[in-house]
Chain A
Amino acid sequence: DIQMTQSPSSLSASVGDRVTITCRARQTISTFLNWYQQKPGRAPKLLIFAASSLQNGVPSRFSGGGSGTDFTLTISSLQPEDFATYYCQQSWRSPWTFGQGTKVEIK
């Protein structure tokens, strides 16, 4: 199985801050990497697929990058509705695996 590791596990930030979350794959996965946002009590929501492609309807303050083993999710200016937990997921090889999540909290 391909292990995915996110860092940090949690962070505190203020509205307007630039936030970057990192996801590392244990082996190369090219750009087969997706990002999801999950709010408490809600289902995950797709933000970015194929490492850097923004899903329709997702605000442009979200961006993704990276290839191979190292990937990033960046929120350019954190908004109140962005406080949530974020997960990366590899789609290179089954079984599909997720990172452990990064909780973004209000400072």
Chain B
Amino acid sequence: EVQLVESGGGLVKPGGSLRLSCAASGLTFSTYTMNWVRQAPGKGLEWVSYITSNSDYIGYADSVKGRFTVSRDNSRNSLYLQMNSLRAEDTAVYYCARESSGRSGYNDYTWFDPWGQGTLVTVSS
């Protein structure tokens, strides 16, 4: 069974930093693109970042670009999100999610499955 377990969340002051981790098991981690998705309290889902299997390609939402850095260690089956210059609006549950894919006809589709249980980041003074 594929399992993703996030850790590293907590309370941090505005302007502070935090590093999230996502430990993966039950899959060949090194072959998958991984993503971070967040959810502010009582709000919807917001994609944050992706990193391809060997870290060749990385992407960020505009809301975090220049402040957050995604990385991975395939030897440790782990995904990371370094969050700097944190703001109140970064308060959210942060989920890691595997990007799965499949072909149908001429198209290659992708989707998020599975997701970890999430870790809460609270930015407050």
Q: From the candidates B45, B46, B100, B102, name the one contacting A44 in the complex (CB within 8 A).
A: B45
Q: Which A38-82 residues have C-beta < 8 A from chain B?
A: 38, 42-46, 49-50, 53, 55
Type the 1/0 row for B7-42, where 1 means its CB is closer than 8 Å to any CB of A. Answer: 000000000000000000000000000010100000
Beyond the given pairs A38-B45, A98-B46, 11 more chain A to chain B contacts, judged by CB atoms under 8 angstroms and listed by A's residue number, are A32-B107, A34-B111, A36-B112, A44-B112, A50-B104, A50-B109, A50-B111, A89-B111, A94-B50, A97-B47, A98-B45
CB closest chain-B residue, reference A31? B107
Which residues of A are interface residues toward B (Cβ below 8 A)? 30-32, 34, 36, 38, 42-46, 49-50, 53, 55, 87, 89, 91, 94-101
> Which residues from A are CB-within-8-Å of B113?
46, 49, 55
A43 contacts B117, C-beta separation under 8 Å: yes
- Chain B: interface size category: 20 to 34
In the assembled complex, 21 residue pairs joining A and B whose CB atoms fall closer than 8 Å, in A order, are A31-B109, A34-B111, A38-B45, A42-B117, A44-B95, A44-B112, A44-B115, A46-B112, A46-B114, A49-B102, A49-B113, A50-B111, A91-B111, A94-B50, A94-B59, A95-B47, A95-B59, A96-B35, A98-B45, A98-B46, A100-B44
Which residues of B are interface residues toward A (Cβ below 8 A)? 35, 37, 44-47, 50, 59, 61-62, 95, 100, 102, 104, 107, 109-118
